[in-house]
Structure 1
């Protein structure tokens, strides 16, 4: 029997908790955590004391979902999971999990699997863990991992193994049996390996036709409409406060009658709002604020005259007395700001700011969720009068651990800040006007713009995802209303605009579409320059490469595809020209040795480091760049592994063209000539000069083109 002496001799053994014992022991609660701690006997346990990340929901364990016969045993082991640490010997044996204690999200996922197992055991008539046999383990593993990927199956089986491992850390173990894969080896319980490369990011980037208008409208909301929206929001809140403080007087009721009766008698629309209970009804708060009456007096008058039904038949706007300064295509975007529309616009404005920040910095969603007011101060001018870039200082969370290797829910401040270009700074400034000083920029409480309910932390990813979809719907309605149907957002072929897709899309487009459709709002050359300032910011000098690692993977994959296309084109008989033709063909033939391996930042960086052999397609310049730093005319940074494709120069020694490039250049020249005939002469002359330049490039290719065999000889 295990005794108190055993606990003292073995620090990994935990005592039995009592009914009033806290679910989370004090040692695991950070000093700033104020979430209430549940008691062991509670039916619902909160994981709040372990949650310091503002972007993470407060997860709960509901013991009513665990079978009554097994509840006491599983409750004891879950408590040990929350408060215990796996023995180093056990961790070392399991090379695929190199930590003794996980974060709250992993704990939650683990507990979910244990609960499923408990319910399955209950259906098999097993009422205590010591009666679970090897046959039970095998049957459960076969039934509940069928159709799962190999990696996910491995994770599930490891979580199940933890059940017996944590049980052994209790002073009074339940006797949970050891799964057979712990003794026989896990490989026989996993599905077969597939040909897919491990570690590949399968998140699909957003289509250019989708991200273009989304980004354009988001920046438009932030930079052109925000003053109007925030002014209307301030006026609405002021009116609402006045109504709340206004008592009922005889003059107030008379003012309501003077305001509403002429509208009723003339058949004019009535100021309307949409109520969850009553649908379209009279805007009581608006009418009360305009007339100086109390809300009760408006309600009394409306009820007596049947205005709820009348308003549903004749709904009208609720104009605010604030100026409209924002414009679309040179005209005001609103005739007036509307009292009832304002909360919706504030919500869309905040969502637009989130898109701008997430997309144009490459932040992970949880990193953006932790941003606070004041995170991006205006920099002081340099002695020479130049102004440094704005820097964003905040926390990151991925793989943040303390000296004992334990996950740190609160994350840590990044040693190197993000670089913020102007649209990002503008978005932060807008959010700083919505939330109080020092508050989270995406505070759940302050972005609940009407009720201001006391929510935990920042808006969660699910909420932000729904808000993005709502913004897209609003953009499409607004584009039609503004007579701009070409600026609608089409459906993306891969589904909803998930937040994780924004980060992937930025890397994809910077690597593959410099100066492309996405540059409707931002010139990508400037964006890449800001992100690639590795020497000055040290952003890429850390072991964990962050967004640059993702950018390197996309760049490497794009270069590999360019090389494969060149190899296929020359094999099909296309000719090649340019000072770097021979080098490009050598680079193209080396690609098969790398195919399937360019899925990690480390592999991508190694591939891109082969100076002179990496090929970058530049469709805007109608060429391939066989990038070599010493001969590049695009002024690459020292140590750069990719060209500044937006600064491609004629006469560069890295240029390569094929017959397809020459044909595309001629087709583009023809399009420019067509445009030249439709515009004023000075602009038309410039179009014609550019067209002649592209035809000259195509002619030069034709005169110098060689077959692949001739070029490489």
Structure 2
């Protein structure tokens, strides 16, 4: 066993006691004073007063979950990261990072507390007495975790007891990096967030767009009627009202003459709703007129639910999508449908912009800017919000995203759904089930957990609706189970589709390629969102899969063109380094590592395959997020560039282009002379290029 090296620090600062505020020195929410925040002596430290993101409701460190033997250790470490003097070279960590570290602090200290005493390993030892053998035991314990990234994060957290040793009474006395295999070479981060399967994504997006474009007017009408009803109920006339009896009788007579049941609730007349409709107090109706109401109910009956009488305008397959909207109903209540409308807007905005949940949640009224052409027609829409990822300011920084019209329409719906005095578009709705304080705070946005729950609620509503009405476009099961949606998956999925399906179509009507270009423009402009890097990673994987498929089919041996020989050489080497055995590599992680190490820099395209050499390239090559030079395929000049190789698919595309040009030249009436000249010139260039590189027919 490695001997213990005693740790001393003559310049260690004074350790925290019971009264220190743990958020001292940090910016706080506008409505919070430091004097009312958590102190060191508290058993639970509330961190949310220092969180300036409006969608975060609670964030806390719950120290009773730490074994009592090591609770002070955890408190001292967390205080050192939150507010204590920083050791040399350390930066103040974010509240979210500290909360994340707390989970693995608890894991490590619980392991120590539960570790049985054996020879050389005393029960519940001081941290300063831990040796490299002890840490190696914990390292082996972490290897049993199912997730390698979780194990890596847990090791980094243990080292905090060394890095912040000057603020601890009982720190580690050795650097865990001394433990063999403790510190592995840091790998580039791989996005492990699940991508939404296509069979789930397309119907989900289609239904979300239906809510925004078809159902929203009816839900907004019902929402306004509910607000009017609530206002009438709250402001119902009090005291003696001599006209109440006549008003009520007229209301009841109308129902009798029409033979229409009274509004019902749980099998009885809904007296609260009737009182609001008539304009009298609920109490007065019960005391003076309940007998009359019940007599009428005996004649005409009562409805099962209290309907708002919304005139339904939305259509689905040519018929009204719903019969009416109710005050309370399992599937058709105004509060449920308004909630589903709000989360549908979230789906449309998040997926068609690539915004993170925190960025979507900070959208405010008036966040859309429209650019119009000379004739006043809109051609792009810009959303303004706040970005937090990678920003030094805890309050975030203003950022913009270029989006298409569907996302802008979703914003317009949200602006109608919220009261005019509410600026945050994803604050809680007036009739939501949130706690009263959450609804009352105008600048409190819904939490990520609430949105995740509403995404699940939306899927269930869609499937129930499809089952009831015989629609076939519900959300299918994946491997026999309902797919569990989360906010993180949408951005990840969008990056995948931009990289791999740039010409695809969303919901049968949206030009996806156009949207992807717009979204790239927006992300390039204002914030270091990391979105471009995600897309480039997906593009690289798609390209690698294509190249390995070419090798598997031996297509690289039949390439023609000026760079054909170079392409064959690179792809033979690529196959060899991949230890290619005749089957396509399907492990995306292995393929990503191979491309980072041995990228052949070959880029398949429609009319040509680029065998990229920066010195010969005629396109405006650019550098990606890893500073590696890349070709700009949209600027490719395949008939002139020395970097071109041709596959059979490329030559077929060129021949198809020749046929298209011939068709245009033969069209009647004839084209203008200048255009005819250009088309003939292009045709001659293509034909000469093919003649130069295609083998002579035998």
Q: Deviations over 1:416-456 (max 9, x none)?
A: x2102111111111112233456222124668378654267
Which position in structure 1 is the counterpart of 2:475? Answer: 489
The corresponding residue for 1:28 is 26
Would you say the 8 A contact 1:615–1:627 is kept in 2? yes
- Judged with a 3 Å threshold, the aligned counterparts in structure 2 of structure 1 residues 323 and 142 are, in CA distance, closer, same or farther, namely same
1:318 maps onto 2:306 in alignment: yes
TM-score by length of 2: 0.71
Q: CA deviation at 1:367?
A: 1.6
Deviations 1:281-304 (A, max 9, x none): 765543333344433467778899
Residues 422, 560 of structure 1: CA spacing in aligned structure 2 closer, same or farther, 3 A cutoff?
Answer: same
Q: Whole-Å Cα distance in 1 between the matches of residues 431 and 530 of structure 2?
A: 29
Where does residue 403 of structure 2 map in the other structure? 420
Alpha carbons of structure 1 residues 549 and 82: separation in structure 2 relative to 1, 3 Å:
same
Over 3 Å counting, the alpha-carbon distance change for 1:143 and 1:265 in structure 2 is: farther
Measured on the aligned residues, the alpha-carbon RMSD in Å equals 5.1
* Displacement after TM superposition at 1:349 (Å): 0.7
Q: Report if aligned partners of 1:514, 1:525 keep a CA contact under 8 Å in 2.
A: yes
Q: Which residue of 2 aligns with 1:64?
A: 64
Give the CA deviation at 1:331. Answer: 3.3
Change (3 A) 1:577 1:157: closer
Secondary structure, aligned partner of 2:368? coil
Q: C-alpha distance in 2, partners of 1:14/1:281?
A: 69
Contact 2:78 2:98 in 1 (8 A): no
Q: Partner residue of 1:461?
A: 448
Residue in 2 that maps onto 1:369: 361
Counterpart contact for 2:159–2:175, Cα < 8 Å: no
- Correspondence for 1:551: 535
1:337 and 1:541 mapped to 2: Cα distance? Answer: 43
> Structure 1 CA distance, aligned partners of 2:396 and 2:203?
34
Who is 1:689 aligned against?
none
Cα 1:226–1:586 change in 2 (3 A) is: farther
Specify whether residues 566 and 45 from structure 1 end up closer, same or farther in structure 2 by C-alpha distance, changes over 3 A only: same
**2: distance between equivalents of 1:593 and 1:391?**
47
Residue 390 of structure 1 and its aligned partner are, at CA, apart by: 2.2
Selected match of 1:211 from 201, 223, 232: 201
Alpha-carbon deviations, 1:131-172, whole Å to 9, x = none? Answer: 754365554444455335554333323322323543522xxx
Could you tell me how far apart the structure 2 residues matched to 1:131 and 1:337 are?
A: 66
Q: Would you say the 8 A contact 2:233–2:276 is kept in 1?
A: yes
Q: Please give the per-residue CA displacement for 1:485-507, whole angstroms capped at 9, x wherever unaligned.
A: 2x222124593222222112222
Q: 1:651 to 1:624 in 2, by over 3 A?
A: closer
| Residue deviations 1:579-613 (CA, integer Å, cap 9, x gap) | 9988976775565489768749x959x969x5xx4
Deviation at 1:108, TM superposition (A): 1.3
TM-score after normalising by structure 1: 0.70
1:114 aligns with 2:105: yes
Q: Is the 8 A contact 1:444 1:459 kept in 2?
A: yes
Task: Give 1:52's aligned residue.
Answer: 52
Partner of 1:82: 82
Corresponding residue for 2:581? none
Hey, what does 1:410 align to over in structure 2? 395
Q: Which one of 471, 475, 500 corresponds to residue 458 of structure 2?
A: 471
Measured at CA, do residues 289 and 584 of structure 1 come closer, stay the same or move farther in structure 2, by a change above 3 Å?
farther
Contact 2:312/2:320, CA 8 A, preserved across alignment: yes
Partner of 1:156: 154
2:312 touches 2:322 (CA, 8 Å); kept in 1?
A: yes
Aligned partner of 2:173 in structure 1 is 178
SS of the residue 1:394 aligns to: strand
Give the Å deviation of 1:358: 0.5
Q: 2:432 aligns with which of 415, 434, 448?
A: 448
Corresponding residue for residue 665 of structure 1: none
Is 1:353 paired with 2:345?
Answer: yes
What is the Cα deviation at residue 354 of structure 1? 0.5
Could you say what secondary structure the match of 1:28 adopts?
coil
CA distance in 1 between partners of 2:631 and 2:436 (Å): 49
Structure with the bigger RCO (C-alpha within 8 Å, sep 6+) is 1
Alignment partner of 1:166 is 2:164: yes
Q: Is the 8 A contact 1:566 1:588 kept in 2?
A: no
Distance 1:305 1:237, change over 3 A: closer
- The alignment covers a number of residue pairs equal to 607
Instruction: Give distance in 2, aligned partners of 1:625 and 1:298.
Output: 81
TM-aligned CA distance change 1:481 to 1:146, over 3 Å:
closer
Judged with a 3 Å threshold, the aligned counterparts in structure 2 of structure 1 residues 598 and 549 are, in CA distance, closer, same or farther, namely farther
Q: State the alpha-carbon separation in 2 of the partners of residues 107 and 151 from structure 1.
A: 17
Contact 2:135 2:179 in 1 (8 A): no
Q: 2:610 and 2:127 mapped to 1: Cα distance?
A: 65
1:188 aligns with 2:181: yes
Give the secondary-structure state (helix, strand or coil) at the position aligned to 2:369: coil
SS at match of 1:168: helix
Cα distance between partner residues in 1 of 2:519 and 2:387: 17
